[in-house]
Amino acid sequence: MTSAHYINLEQLGWPGADFDAVLAEVQAHYDDPTAYLCKNLREISSAARRGAVIIIGKLGDRRALSTLMRYVFDTPGQVLEEDARAAAMQAIIAITDAQPEDASDRRRVANFLMDMLDEPDGFVRGLVMDGLGKFGSRRALYALKNAWNDEHQFVADQARQAYRALSERADSLPSLDEDRPHRDVEGAVLLDRIRFANIKELQPYLHELAKRPNALELADRFLSSGTKRNHYVLERLPSLGDEAGRAVVANHLEMASEETDIAASLSVLAHFLDGDASAPECEAIERGLGSQSAHITRAAILAAGVSGSDRLLEGVIEALGSKELETVLAAAKAVDEALGADDSRWAEPLGQAFAPIHARRLQYEFPRDIHTEALLLRALARLADSSDAKLLNNIAFQALEGVREHRPILASALRLLHRLTPVDGLPVDARWPREHAWTLILLIPYSDDAIRRQLVDLLSRGAPENFERGVQILVELARSAALETRVQLVELVARSGDPSSIEYLYGFARDPAEEIVEAAADALRRRQVGVEQMPADVVDIFMTLDERKNRKYYKAEFERLAEEAARRQPDKNGRTFDE
């Protein structure tokens, strides 16, 4: 075996990935496959991370518990991490449940699960309930009972099942006093335990710190008295809900010298900022932007995005050109956070930064570039009302290249186009070129119903006359679309100028829905198709519709034709009326 063998763990995120085959490859080339996978867990994409977590669960090594718990605890509310976090929680429960009844891991994980009771993801929270039912303490009984009325039915059901299971062995559970030995310790002792306790036992002490009435004072004392584990305490400050925590972070940032300390301080500072960074805070963020540490730079970028400083935002946009994908993604998140409707001055530099990111996404389809592109499009959509519409329009259609499988980009690009295209439609001379209409039409077969509705709505607003191609796709969609969308599709088929569109309109005229019949009648009138050219059954349908609507469109047309025929009819002298 060797540790130099390269294994592409990104394949774990590919469709149809064979997890067992990758596991066999890791076991064949690494003496410690669990250590290898845990080491690389944060280095791979979100999609691949789910597969890596599943493999770690298959290995069943208790040493992976700390890595898995830290990952789940650190990533709440991150949409791209949802699947991997759920898989990690399942692995934590499976690995722990396999340990002996008296194993210390069971109590450690039970404490971790109690810290996860406020987890925002309903599925993960349901798994927390399941885990507490397997190896929770007496303290968990109260938490499980409180969750019976959870807004997520899955969580409520799991809580009831877990409560029943835990109640059956309540006599063997430790008392509440035994369960929380750190509750009554002095502040100084608690800080010492945070600083020096076994890393596996750290979370309960941090949780206890956050509950203390003087938590902010204790945190300030801790940060001023050393460097070990400062970032753990810093990360707790936003949850205290005290704005004074901002001053604690800013002061610590001035003194911090360790990379992890500085990065954590900048990250926490970003939680407190709301476009109101002070001059010293801006200087600290600017130092971070110029750091040689990618970790510090990314934290500084996120803080710059909420600083309210144009100078710092220039540095963020410059970071979009970095070759480090994580740095570029951080910059995109900062831009998305920073820009509002009045920031149109940034549209052009963002457009310039967008082009290379888009080109790289088309070539490599890195998940981080997909996320980055979607975030930039979302930010640009907020600038649509006050920016160069032509520039943003081109960016939106550029983003739609190769986008079939990337819904975040597709949704963001369509949002941008909706902001650029008036509800009552573009003027005829300002409508898109045919190629743009074709781009949207060709996406229809590969999209879900919600996206299809958006595509049709945009086409009805911006598609040019006589765009010709794709009519068959529109007609096929009209067979199953909602009524409002079908009415728009009738108008689009008429607008297409396709030679077969008249026949399709006759088909729509035979539809059982009166709204579709009327849309077809209006379209045929705009196309100047007279009743003498229409099939007899279609004319009858339109005449009936006129009678119901108390109109005389087609009756008047028949009267006109009859009058013209009479004028052409010769009299007894062989002369017509006109003669």
Is residue 561 over pLDDT 80? no
353 within a domain of the structure (yes/no): no
User: Which tokens hold the place of 385?
Assistant: 């009302």
Instruction: Find the mean pLDDT for residues 103-109.
Output: 83
Over pLDDT 90: what percentage of the chain?
A: 60
**What number of helices (H) and strands (E) belong to the chain?**
32, 0
* Better pLDDT: 492 or 543: 492
Residue written as tokens 């540095």?
A: 315
Question: Which residue, chain included where needed, has tokens 């040493």?
Answer: 63
Burial of 168 (0-12, 13-18, 19+ CB in 10 A): exposed
Confidence of residue 468 (pLDDT cuts 50, 70, 90): confident
Helix axes 553-568, 536-549, angle to 10 degrees: 120
User: In terms of residue numbers, what domain contains 40?
Assistant: 9-169
Q: What are phi and psi of 470, to 5 degrees?
A: 85, 10
- Let me know if residue 54 belongs to a domain: yes
- Tell me whether residue 103 is in a domain: yes
CATH code where residue 127 lies: 1.25.10.10
Q: Is residue 454 assigned to a domain?
A: no
Query: How many other C-beta atoms are found inside a 10 Å radius of the C-beta of residue 499?
Result: 9
- Is there a contact between 219 and 236 (Cβ–Cβ < 8 Å)? yes
- Determine, yes or no, domain membership for 101: yes
Q: What is the pLDDT of residue 1?
A: 47
Q: Do the domain assignments include residue 91?
A: yes
Give how many domains the chain has, as a whole number: 1
- CA 452 vs CA 52, 155, 441: distances in Å: 34, 33, 9
Residue 525 pLDDT grade (very low, low, confident, very high; cuts 50, 70, 90): confident
Encode pLDDT of 161-176 as tens digits. Answer: 999 988 887 666 654 4
> What mean pLDDT value characterizes the chain?
89
pLDDT the model gives residue 204: 83
Q: pLDDT (tens digit, 9 = 90+) per residue, 260-301?
A: 999 999 999 999 999 999 999 999 999 999 999 999 999 999
Tell me whether residue 21 is in a domain. yes
Indicate whether 88 belongs to any domain. yes
pTM over 0.85: no
More confident residue, 111 or 395: 395
